[in-house]
Amino acid sequence: MSRRVLVRRIVNALVTIAFIAVANFILFRLIPGDPTRALLPRNVSSEERAALRDRLGLDQPLLPGVVRQANGRIEVDLSTLPDSITNNQLVTYFGNLLQWPPDLGDSFAEPGTVVDAIAQRFWPTVLLVGVAEAVALLLGVAIGIVAGWKRGGIFDTVSVSGSLVLYAVPLFWLGMLLLFFLATSNGVPIFPEQQMVTPGRVYANSIDEVLDIGAHLVLPAATLALGLVADYALIMRSSLIEVLTEEYITTARAKGLSERGILRRHALPNAWLPTVSLTALSLGYVLGGAIGVETVFAWPGLGRLTIDSVAAKDFPVLQGLFLLIAISVVLANLAAEIIYGMLDPRVRE
């Protein structure tokens, strides 16, 4: 990929992130009501409420010349425009966002700041999603290759039917089935039921802790992986079947190349391309599915934090989660475009 194309795609990603940040700012400030009511009891004085609004920066204009009243109404007052050009919530928001680490405010329900609350739940979700994605990618691609290469056979029919079923099954329901049959006394209790570690357990060494986390990881990771494997298998199968009809495959066969050599050297390198794009596009689906899966298995990740924040009306944390997930999807798509350009010379310029 040329430097010019790479710079253009990076700039496009940065512009997209900027639009996401603006949308994140606007959406959560359109929520009706006064945010201070979630932090203060009902019987506080108006002076105490005004002091909290001042500390949170809610007394500033929403935008230059735009004032949001305490009852949720948004009014335009051009007389405040000169003074509010630099002194408004939007400028303050971006100023705090561009710091490192970003200042997203204090959580209403979690101890500490929003960044602290998200950081504590970030790595459990990375572990869960990373393992599930790796397993689904390897298994789904392998199934798709065999099904596409042996099109019309028994394996092809069974794998396509199974993939369609898995694609249609809600992840939270699939997780509940696995939990019921493989973790409770009603089935075969092979794995732990919930949580990331065994509550109250004292580990003799780090190996015991890793093994305990691994045992708790099996069922939630399997649930996410089964939901993804169908996508990868169907896309890989369809792509491989399409590639096998190309003229260069016919030419390779006419030259006397073995079927295994045609598959490995000519068909697979081109059939991989749609799967690369799907891997990046599925990130949003995985993070969305992780919310239900983490709730079912009480996994202490970002999905569980999202549910807890919605229940507690913790808008600062929800705002931070929305921004993190959206930026992650944009960066994943940027990475997919770069990898796609490296694999396919036709899109390098």
- 64 with 205, same domain: the answer is no
The Cα 119–Cα 199 span in angstroms is 21
Q: Answer yes or no: are the C-beta atoms of 14 and 37 closer than 8 Å.
A: no
Looking at residue 76, its pLDDT comes to 61
Looking at residue 86, its pLDDT comes to 66
User: Which residues pair with residue 63 across a beta bridge?
Assistant: 66
**53 has pLDDT over 80:** no
Which amino acid is it at 224?
L
- 181 with 306, same domain: the answer is yes
What's phi and psi for 63, nearest 5 deg?
Answer: -135, 170
Looking at residue 222, its pLDDT comes to 92
Task: State CA 97 to chain mean position distance.
Answer: 20
- Other CB atoms within a 10 A radius of the CB of residue 185 amount to 7
Q: What is the mean pLDDT of residues 284-300?
A: 81
Q: What share of the chain has pLDDT > 90, as a percent?
A: 7
- 192 with 267, same domain: the answer is yes
Closest CA to 197 of 186, 187, 209: 209
Looking at residue 143, its pLDDT comes to 92
Residue with the larger pLDDT of the pair 144 and 86: 144
The Cα 194–Cα 125 span in angstroms is 15
- 73 with 142, same domain: the answer is no
User: Which DSSP helix (H) or strand (E) runs through 74?
Assistant: strand 74-76
Q: Is 67 helix (H, G, I), strand (E, B) or coil?
A: strand
- 69 with 154, same domain: the answer is no
Q: What is the mean pLDDT of residues 314-339?
A: 85
The Cα 213–Cα 207 span in angstroms is 10
**84 has pLDDT over 70:** no
- 21 with 154, same domain: the answer is no
- 18 with 81, same domain: the answer is yes
Looking at residue 197, its pLDDT comes to 86
Closest CA to 199 of 184, 212, 210, 190: 212
Q: Residue 147 domain-assigned?
A: yes
Q: Residue 108 domain-assigned?
A: no
Lowest mean pLDDT among 43-52, 106-115, 323-332: 43-52
- 202 with 319, same domain: the answer is yes
Q: Residue 107 domain-assigned?
A: no
Overall number of domains in the chain? 2
Which long-range contacts link 158-166 to residues 24+ away (Cβ below 8 Å)? 159/233, 159/237, 160/234, 160/237, 162/230, 163/229, 163/230, 163/233, 163/234, 164/230, 164/234, 165/230, 166/226, 166/227, 166/229, 166/230
Task: State CA 241 to chain mean position distance.
Answer: 30
Q: Residue 57 domain-assigned?
A: yes
Q: What is the mean pLDDT of residues 43-50?
A: 75
Q: Answer yes or no: are the C-beta atoms of 198 and 192 closer than 8 Å.
A: yes
Residue 14 burial (C-beta neighbours within 10 Å; 0-12, 13-18, 19+): exposed
Question: In sequence order, which ranges of 244-314 are alpha helices (DSSP H)?
Answer: 247-254, 259-262, 268-296, 302-312
- 53 with 148, same domain: the answer is no
Which residue, of 54, 71, 97, is where some domain finishes? 97
User: Where residue 186 falls among pLDDT bands split at 50, 70, 90?
Assistant: confident
User: What is the CATH number for 203?
Assistant: 1.10.3720.10
- pLDDT, tens digit (0-9, with 9 covering 90-100), for 211-255: 999 999 999 999 989 888 888 888 888 888 888 888 888 888 888
Q: What share of the chain has pLDDT > 70, as a percent?
A: 84
Looking at residue 221, its pLDDT comes to 92
The Cα 222–Cα 174 span in angstroms is 10
Residue with the larger pLDDT of the pair 279 and 153: 153
Q: Residue 106 domain-assigned?
A: no
**65 has pLDDT over 70:** no
Looking at residue 67, its pLDDT comes to 60
The Cα 224–Cα 133 span in angstroms is 8
Question: For all residues of the chain together, what is the average pLDDT?
Answer: 81
Domain region containing 189: 114-347
Q: Residue 109 domain-assigned?
A: no
Q: Residue 61 domain-assigned?
A: yes
Q: What is the mean pLDDT of residues 88-115?
A: 81
Which residue, of 34, 67, 97, is where some domain finishes? 97
Residue with the larger pLDDT of the pair 23 and 51: 23
**204 has pLDDT over 60:** yes
- 181 with 83, same domain: the answer is no
Looking at residue 63, its pLDDT comes to 67
Q: What share of the chain is helix, strand, coil (3-state, %, to 5)?
A: 70, 5, 25
- 132 with 46, same domain: the answer is no
Looking at residue 39, its pLDDT comes to 67
What's the whole-model pTM score?
0.81
Residue with the larger pLDDT of the pair 135 and 202: 135
Looking at residue 73, its pLDDT comes to 61
Q: Answer yes or no: are the C-beta atoms of 229 and 160 closer than 8 Å.
A: no
Task: Identify the DSSP state of 113.
Answer: B
**343 has pLDDT over 80:** no
Q: What is the mean pLDDT of residues 148-163?
A: 88
Q: Residue 318 domain-assigned?
A: yes
Q: Who contacts 142 (Cβ-Cβ below 8 Å, separation ≥6)?
A: none
Residue with the larger pLDDT of the pair 31 and 318: 318
- 124 with 19, same domain: the answer is no
Q: Is 20 helix (H, G, I), strand (E, B) or coil?
A: helix
